[in-house]
Structure 1
Amino acid sequence: MITGLHTILYSTDPDADRRFFRDVLGFPATDVGAGWLIFQMPPADLGVHPIESGSAHELHLICDDLAATMAELAARGVDFTRDPTMQSWGVSTAIRLPGGGELGLYEPRYPPLGVTRL
């Protein structure tokens, strides 16, 4: 039986992004050797969206209060790549990762699907 979801984030500066997830976002991690950190993630959900061809993947963090979370992260030096926008499913923004990537952040407008948010 499936027991979880392993996500891989590719980065041009993996050490900086690992420090960001560990030190700025505060996710607990296990070093599996040579500095390779595997992070414990909060509960997850999965959406499948249509695409004309090929494939694409996105990674978003979920929070209970986007404005409060943005203020807390901004105080830790986090840069946001776009202003919050209201969608039918919630309000969203994005975080600039040290390695140059982007990480979505949103406050859902749907029930938590039977999981307890961290």
Structure 2
Amino acid sequence: MFNGAHVILYTHDAEADRAFIRDKLGFAHVEAGHGWLIFKLPPAELAVHPTGDAPQHELFLMCDDLEHTLARLAEHDVEVSQSPTDRGWGLLAAVRLPSGAELPLYEPHHPVAHGLSP
């Protein structure tokens, strides 16, 4: 029924953030015209959490080894804006996009769903 998910990051400097995702993170992409790059994402999963606040959505890039990922990104002069912390359910860190926004990185300690068959 569904064949994928389309994630949108709203940012104050879309051109710089697109270049960062293309050049620093190395994500494959297609050109949709007029400088619009659409990036191929790794496999994904969806979680639904309760909140007492206004509903919101978050994006985390998952990795098998957060420390190794951060070391590789440092080789490309990527700024770590949030050092790794163990939250029990996983390790969480963040890198800074050129626009100033943070992009969270996540090494789960729980079973992941993204490799399951439909």
TM-score strictly above 0.5:
yes
Higher relative contact order (CA 8 A, sep 6+): 1
Q: Which residue pairs with 2:81 in the alignment? A: 81
- Residue 13 of structure 1: aligned partner: 13
Partner of 1:33: 33
**Which residues of structure 2 form unaligned runs of 5+?**
none
The percent of aligned pairs where both chains have the same amino acid is 50
What corresponds to 1:98 in structure 2? 98
Amino acid paired to 2:78: V
Following superposition of structure 1 onto structure 2, how do residues 38-77 of structure 1 map, counting pairs within 5 Å?
Answer: 38-77=38-77
Name the CA distance, whole Å, in 2 between partners of 1:82 and 1:114. Answer: 25
Cα-Cα RMSD: 1.3
Q: TM-score, normalised by structure 1?
A: 0.92
SS of the residue 1:71 aligns to? helix
Q: Pick closer, same or farther for the CA change 1:114–1:34 going to 2, 3 Å.
A: closer
Q: CA deviation at 1:99?
A: 0.9
How many corresponding residue pairs?
116
Q: Which residue of 2 aligns with 1:2?
A: 2
Deviation at 1:114, TM superposition (A): 5.3
Task: Say if 2:93 and 2:104, in contact at 8 Å, map to a contact too.
Answer: yes
1:81 partner SS: strand
- What stretches of structure 1 move > 6 A for 4+ residues in a row? none
Contact 2:65 2:107 in 1 (8 A): yes
Structure 1 runs not aligned, ≥5 long: none
